Amino acid sequence: MSNFSFAVLISGNGSNLGSMINHIKENKIPGKICCVVSNNPEAYGIQRAKDAGIPYEIINNKEFKSREEFDYSLVKKLKKYKPDLIVLAGFMRILSNVFIEAYDQRILNIHPSLLPKHPGLNTHKRAIESGDKYHGITIHFVDESLDGGPICAQSKIKINDSDQKKLETRIHQLEHELYPKVIRWYAEGRLEVNGEFVTLDNKKITLN
């Protein structure tokens, strides 16, 4: 898909966005980022978009009365960019059906745990406190459930100690490697949703 383009939705630092920008420069992701959208006017990721010359939009969720109103505005704003895929990269909003239906099976999210373990927030802390041997990341298509939806890929590391900061740094490294790879699979038409599971090159993805 040579004209492939995707939109990246952020709320904060945008380190995954930075990784995607680098992968595009190195021709490891075909296509381009058509726009970056942030719900947080203070997000550092906006500066990353500016520096890379990528169009950006700020839609402050605090200016809307409901989740649905915000999502309507988001859908309307994205229409002019015509993205083939929506990539959530630290986007701290639960999307409503308004948005999910507009981009059905075209929204990817990354979550810092080995789903279905530890959905929600504070995953590094919870993984350590639960005595988990392994921690990792999950990339999945978004549906109506919280951190649910068909899984595309996972990557894991061994938990060596109880240092939460160290663990978080190691998890970020996994994210920056795996997320661009999954976006490339999608751009190349190799990744497809088949009901509750995902296929890569027509083979069902199985998790470790």
142-191 pLDDT tens trace:
998 888 899 999 999 999 999 999 999 999 999 999 999 999 999 999 99
Question: Which among 91, 89, 86, 88 has a CA at the least distance from the CA of 106?
Answer: 86
Homologous superfamily, domain 5-204: Formyl transferase, N-terminal domain (3.40.50.170)
Report the pLDDT value the prediction gives residue 1, as an integer from 0 to 100: 46
Enumerate the active-site residues: 111
Structure tokens at 159: 């938990």
d(CA 84, CA 30): 12
User: By three-state DSSP, how is residue 51 classified?
Assistant: helix
Angle, helices 164-187/15-25, rounded to nearest 10 degrees: 40
pTM of the model: 0.96
